Amino acid sequence: MDYISTRGSAPALGFEDVTLAGLASDGGLYVPRVWPMLSADEIAGLAGASYVETAITVMRPFVVGALDDAALRDLCTQAYGRFNHDAVTPLVQLDSQNWLLELFHGPTLAFKDVALQLLGLLFERFLTNRDTHLTVVGATSGDTGSAAIDALAGRAKVDVFMLHPAGRVSDVQRRQMTTVLSPNIYNIAVEGSFDHAQAIVKAMFADPETTSRVTMSAVNSINWARLMAQVVYYFYAAVRLGAPDRKVAFAVPTGNFGDVFAGYVASRMGLPIERLIVATNVNDILHRALSTGDYSCGLVTPTATPSMDIQVSSNFERLLFDLSGRDGLALAGMMRGFEQSKAMTIPENMLNGARGLFASARIDGDDMASAMRWAHDRAGQLLDPHTSVGLAAARKAGIASDVPIVTLATAHPAKFRDAVERATGFRPAMPARLGGLFDREERFDTLPATLEAVRAYVLERSK
Ligand SMILES: *Cc1c(COP(=O)(O)O)cnc(C)c1O
């Protein structure tokens, strides 16, 4: 399998190089040259398969040439062995139609672990035989940072510089990052929003002064390997609910469009998906884009769901690439226009390609809180605010009552204790995994939200 850029001019790369590279040199994102298909029989054959066996079947076509089955099994066994649940990502029933897929049983209690635990191991394996030192520069609205730091702390040949928006991540999220004192981990609080932090990271990838001095790599969901790892749980959940003979809908709390794009990939691979419900908070650019074609940025409004407080969703470009008929050069023109004016209208003929599969909803703080209370009253489940946004969207999507809807539960409620307590009156218990978090020493530096400041910091410290 080789990978091509959504902007049509960067060289095609194999899986190993795509994993280490992150962003393409033309500013685009890498996608597989073709979407591999699993037949209905192959999907039916996943019934009863473990998470690791499912992962091997789903990821095999994406890694051919780089990893054989034995290597893939070894990496997945290590990565998912660190999860605190035998099912890795268990399904929990809420009522006759609604299910949760709990993706938060990994080391940092958010779904980012599913992809990043594997990515950390892929980095180590691919770097072992290379004379390369990687400088990972990432921006996080909270959960990516801690999951990447957990996956990469102490690994040889990698330094991690993680930017988070100062004061805009929860105290648990911040401490999960800043209390990891490994010498290869650098936490930077940027005086700005997540979008500022992400723009700085993007600018560094395009900045010759940086790229001529260090080998940069990405752990944000612009990294293809992350999305690939997330495709697995769509198959795993759908098969448990009757796929391929029965269609399933998924409601996905969405920020950077990575998680829901993985659902799109599952659908392209042949998984019968009724609908992918894109759930946004009041930062609703994706809802506007999918419902009316209005892809224009406003200002970011801070909410109780910080991992969704975003205006520019990087991975949306991957969907636009397919909707454009995979015309990379045309898309490059569109994206350059968007980057200048911060707005574009998605043509109707492109949108039509998305309408059969995608639905979307904008969920405000009241809708979020009432969905959280419903899950608690109805099923005795305490949900985190992001998951609650997904559930609220699931409940108003108008999906036929015989189609199961799986809401992706993207974080453990204990990561957002204050918001959960405000909505339900119940304060989630701290899981043992987070024990001592508030007693440990924190280490981070605060920088202005400029390319110059961050670049100087990174170049001074990376090996
Ligand atoms: C990252 C994150 C999201 C958003 O996922 P994307 O892949 O960026 O769309 C939603 N909820 C939680 C808890 C997250 O950590």
In ligand 1, the atom with minimum distance to the C-alpha of 384 is 13
The pLDDT value recorded for residue 312 is 84
The pLDDT value recorded for residue 122 is 96
The pLDDT value recorded for residue 198 is 86
Q: How far is CA 259 from CA 231, 264, 388, in A?
A: 8, 9, 16
In ligand 1, the atom with minimum distance to the C-alpha of 230 is 7
Q: Which residues contact 68 (CB under 8 A, 6 or more apart)?
A: none
Burial class (CB in 10 A: 0-12, 13-18, 19+), 94: buried
Ligand 1 mean position, distance from CA 458 (Å)? 26
> Do you find a cis peptide bond into 244, omega within 30 degrees of 0?
yes
The question of whether 202 is a catalytic residue gets the answer no
End-to-end CA distance of the chain: 32
Distance CA 187, CA 163 (A): 6
Question: What are the E-state strand segments in 179-302?
Answer: 185-191, 215-217, 248-253, 273-280, 294-296
User: What type of residue sits at position 261?
Assistant: F
Residue nearest to atom 14 of ligand 1 (CA): 307
| 118 contacts 76 by C-beta, under 8 angstroms | yes
The pLDDT value recorded for residue 226 is 95
State the virtual CA torsion across 235, 238, 239, 241 in degrees, nearest 10: 160
Domain-wise residue ranges, the chain: 87-108+224-424
Mutate to test the pocket of ligand 1, among 111, 223, 234, 389 (most ligand atoms within 8 A of CB): 111
| 426 contacts 447 by C-beta, under 8 angstroms | no
Specify whether domain 87-108+224-424 bears CATH 3.40.50.1100: yes
Ligand 1 mean position, distance from CA 305 (Å)? 9
Structure tokens at 320: 């636009």
In ligand 1, the atom with minimum distance to the C-alpha of 258 is 7
CB-based pocket (< 6 A), ligand 1: 110, 112, 143, 221, 253-259, 307-308, 386, 410-411
Structure tokens at 144: 């990516």
Q: How big is the CA angle at 86 (ends 392 and 83), to the nearest 5 degrees?
A: 75
Which stretches of 356-445 are DSSP H helices?
365-379, 385-395, 417-424
| 141 contacts 119 by C-beta, under 8 angstroms | no
Which stretches of 383-432 are DSSP H helices?
385-395, 417-424
| 326 contacts 333 by C-beta, under 8 angstroms | no
Select from 356, 361, 360 the least CA-distant residue to 268.
Answer: 356
Tell me which residue has tokens 């902007």. 7
Structure tokens at 421: 């307590």
| 207 contacts 451 by C-beta, under 8 angstroms | yes
Residue nearest to atom 2 of ligand 1 (CA): 307
Distance CA 174, CA 167 (A): 9
Helix, strand or coil, per DSSP, at residue 462 = coil
Q: Please tell me the number of Cα atoms within 13 Å of 309 on its side-chain side.
A: 25
Residue in 112, 202, 247, 415 annotated catalytic: 112
Task: Give me the helix-helix angle, 258-268 and 316-323, nearest 10°.
Answer: 30
Structure tokens at 429: 């218990």
Task: Give me the helix-helix angle, 224-240 and 258-268, nearest 10°.
Answer: 60
Q: How big is the CA angle at 287 (ends 285 and 291), to the nearest 5 degrees?
A: 120
In ligand 1, the atom with minimum distance to the C-alpha of 112 is 15
The pLDDT value recorded for residue 318 is 98
Q: Which residues contact 73 (CB under 8 A, 6 or more apart)?
A: 52, 56
The pLDDT value recorded for residue 168 is 87
Cβ count near 323 (within 10 Å): 18
Note down pLDDT in tens along the chain; length 463 residues.
999 999 999 999 999 999 998 788 898 999 999 999 999 999 999 999 999 999 999 999 999 999 999 999 999 999 999 999 999 999 999 999 999 999 999 999 999 999 999 999 999 999 998 889 999 999 998 789 999 999 999 998 999 999 999 998 888 889 999 999 999 999 999 999 888 998 899 899 889 999 999 999 988 888 999 999 999 999 999 999 999 999 999 999 999 999 999 999 999 999 999 999 999 999 999 999 999 999 999 888 989 998 898 888 889 999 999 999 999 999 999 999 998 999 999 999 999 989 999 999 999 999 999 999 999 999 999 999 999 999 999 999 999 999 999 999 999 999 899 999 999 999 999 888 888 899 999 999 999 999 999 999 999 998 8
